[in-house]
Amino acid sequence: MTAATLLARYGTVQMTTSSPGQILVMLYDGLFRFLGEARTAITTHDRARAGERISRSHAILDLLDSTLDPTHAPELCDNLHGLYLFCMSRIVTANINQDVTPLDEVLRVLGPLREAWKEAIARLPAEAKDPAGKKT
């Protein structure tokens, strides 16, 4: 079995055994990783890799945006929707212009949000983190 296969299996198990809050933080972590890799690719003039990493970043932002549920917190969802759209437009600009500045803006804007989600999830009681009763 290859390392890639083992890593894929680990990722699948981690996603299926994590709470929604933990998955949210993992999505932000993946987004930041891909943005960092896109930044490196742009600075080394690897346009193909930059485009692929930006595409992955865009997909995560699109997923985060599409899962907003305004029935619970309409104002928060509206604000996050605007923020995610802004970030998506900035990473497209970064890709078109092969410029890291828009990526830095996205990282700067979303960094505190990721930390806030991480802290909020850590403060939840154990039963609220996992309502299905799975061990986390």
Place of tokens 């899962």: 67
The mean pLDDT of the chain is 86
Question: Over 80: is that where the pLDDT of 57 sits?
Answer: yes
**Gap between the Cα atoms of 128 and 116, Å rounded:** 17
Q: Is the pLDDT of residue 70 over 50?
A: yes
Distance (Å, whole) CA 14 – CA 7: 10
| Mean pLDDT for the stretch of residues 43-56 | 97
Mean pLDDT across 83-111: 98
Q: Domains in the chain and their CATH numbers? A: 19-125 (1.20.120.340)
CB under 8 A, 24+ apart: contacts of 5-12? none
How does residue 12 score in pLDDT terms, banded at 50, 70 and 90? Answer: low
DSSP character at residue 33:
H
Predicted local distance difference test score (pLDDT) of residue 18: 82
Would you say residue 2 has pLDDT above 60?
Answer: no
- Residue 81 — pLDDT band, cuts 50, 70, 90? very high
d(CA 82, CA 99): 22
Residue 128 confidence class, pLDDT cut points 50, 70, 90: low
pLDDT of 16 > 90? The answer is no
Q: In the chain, which residue ranges form alpha helices assigned H by DSSP?
A: 3-16, 20-43, 47-66, 74-97, 101-123, 126-129
Please compute the mean of the pLDDT values over residues 60-69 and round it to a whole number: 96
106-115 long-range Cβ contacts below 8 angstroms, 24+ apart: 106/35, 107/32, 107/35, 107/36, 109/83, 110/28, 110/31, 110/32, 110/83, 111/32, 113/28, 113/83, 114/25, 114/28, 114/29, 114/32
What's the whole-number mean pLDDT along residues 59-87? 96
